[in-house]
């Protein structure tokens, strides 16, 4: 660049040129996929907080008694 020369950038459109802001099909698909992932992440976060706040709500009552027969026998010798 010489002294007195005006520096113009290529980022600014010159004249009547309008920038093209339309998204391609690949960009639209990626954007939709990312949105779906965020929705899925939100559902998982809500479900995890529900389990943390009340862990016994989703546990089946039959699961509490499964396997206790062997434990009672083991504790009898302790």
What confidence score (pLDDT) does residue 34 get?
98
Q: What is the mean pLDDT of the chain?
A: 76
* Cβ atoms of residues 8 and 14 within 8 Å: yes
Which SS3 state, helix, strand or coil, does residue 1 take?
A: coil
Q: What is the pLDDT of residues 20-44, one digit of tens each?
A: 788 899 999 999 999 999 999 999 9
Contact 13, 19 (CB under 8 A): yes
Please check whether residue 60 is in contact with residue 68, taking contact to mean a CB–CB distance below 8 angstroms.
no
Say whether pTM exceeds 0.85.
Answer: no
Whole-angstrom distance, CA of residue 21 vs CA of residue 16? 15
Percent pLDDT > 90 in the chain is 33
Domain extents for the chain?
25-61
- Cα-Cα-Cα-Cα torsion 56, 61, 62, 67, nearest 10 degrees, comes to 50
């Amino acid at each position: 660049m010489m002294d007195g020369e005006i520096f113009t950038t290529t980022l600014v459109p010159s004249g009547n040129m309008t920038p093209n802001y339309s998204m391609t099909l690949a960009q639209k698909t990626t954007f939709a996929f990312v949105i779906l992932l965020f929705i899925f992440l939100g559902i998982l976060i809500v479900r995890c907080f529900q389990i943390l706040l009340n862990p016994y709500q989703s546990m089946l009552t039959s699961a509490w008694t499964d396997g206790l027969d062997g434990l009672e026998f083991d504790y009898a010798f302790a």
